[in-house]
Chains A and B, each alone.
Chain A
Amino acid sequence: MNATLTLLDRTSFIELNARERAQALLDPGSFRELLGPFDAVESPWLMAQGVVPQSDDGVVIARGSIGGVPAVVIAIEGAFQGGSTGEVSGAKIAGALELALLDAQAGRPIRPVLLFETGGVRLQEANLGLAAMADIHAALIALRRHVPVVGVIAGMVGCFGGMSMSAALTSYLIMTRQGRLGLNGPEVIEQNAGIAELDSRDRQLIWSLTGGEQRVATGFADQLAVDDADTIAHVVRAAFDTDRSLPANSSRVAHWRDRLSRLPERAEGAALRALSPGER
């Protein structure tokens, strides 16, 4: 097959919306949504600020199964307000993780998956979004002690702000080449530190710093996957099936301290890759 046919043969995961992504990961016919659009649990804060709300507040919580095992997929809709975390969307994510924790504590099998597509806290709901972040982080740390929590950053929004910490707290993180992971987004850095510090329009530079390929090469993410729905469903399932009980990346404090102590002067691109991510 030539390159064009190969591309046409794929179903782009990036082009799917949050609901379709959850459906793509769950076993066929097992998708069941909690607090869906018709429950109309939307943000109570946006209307007052002249912003049109969305009926699911931009987060899809779906139960079903992955490889025959009960699962919960938390999918963020990047097209609505940049996938930002508000009071309601944050509570949906934290609540789903906390329910998964109850299952895990009771010995019921559960496979939690987080699909990140977010710029972080929703500025219109600042403090409530930040509070939700704390709930989400606490739930992730409690849950990953029992079962692996798998994260996916497909793109094209990427994963930034407080939610980049959530991504870092997962047990196993999958990225596409198009995905990006960073604490501050490039526009934010340029706005605050100037264009000499970072030109947010330089796509090659941005992806060489925060893109999926670089993040996997430098050990911040675990696996690179092509933008194909079947492939991503496969690697997510494989991450659970081959549970090697790895220590969560963020729990390897000595490892990261050592990396920091050997940081090159310009800690970017190839120089950062030269620091071996080391085996887990």
Chain B
Amino acid sequence: METLELRFPGDRPIIRRAHVGVVGSGDLEILLSPASETTVTIRTSVGGFGVLWRATLERFFARHPIAARVVINDAGATPGVVSLRLAQALEEAGS
């Protein structure tokens, strides 16, 4: 297991907090809360994929430059699943 802390330069506020997903095999849990800057804490069951996490999140926040506190608890989700869950969380949070 590995813990990653990342920052992104978004400033678009989100309307409400959102919680999606489950820490179940191949899935992940994402918590979004309004914040003044974007910080991401990732706890993942699979170590050694920091570069992939950064790339996946960079792409998401480039498209959606939101300001939010993001907490991710991951049980081995693929980048595709991560992107879908992020999109789902953002849809629920509203921006």
Contacts and interface: CB of A to CB of B under 8 A. Distances in A.
Bound together: yes
5 contacts: A38-B33, A50-B1, A52-B1, A52-B74, A79-B22
A219 interface: no
A52 B76 CA distance: 10
B22 A53 contact: no
Interface of A is mostly: loop
Nearest to A57: B23
B71 interface: yes
A37 interface: yes
B24 to A, nearest CB: 3
Contacts of B31: 37-38, 55
Interface residues of B, number: 18
Contact of B73 (A17, A38, A54): A54
B28 to A, nearest CB: 9
Q: Which one of A47, A77, A80 has the greatest number of beta carbons of chain B within 10 Å?
A: A80
A51 interface: yes
B59 to A, nearest CB: 23
B12 interface: no
B19 A52 contact: no
Nearest to A50: B1
Interface of B: 1, 17, 19, 22-25, 27, 29, 31, 33, 43-45, 71, 73-75
Interface size class of A (residues with CB under 8 A): 10 to 19
A52 B24 contact: no
B24 A80 contact: yes
Nearest to A42: B73
A51 B75 CA distance: 9
Contacts of A17: 22
A13 B33 CA distance: 29
B71 A55 contact: yes
Contacts of B75: 52
B44 A52 contact: yes
Given A47-B1, A79-B27, 12 more contacts: A47-B43, A50-B45, A52-B45, A52-B73, A52-B75, A53-B23, A54-B73, A55-B29, A55-B73, A79-B22, A79-B25, A80-B23
B24 A79 contact: yes
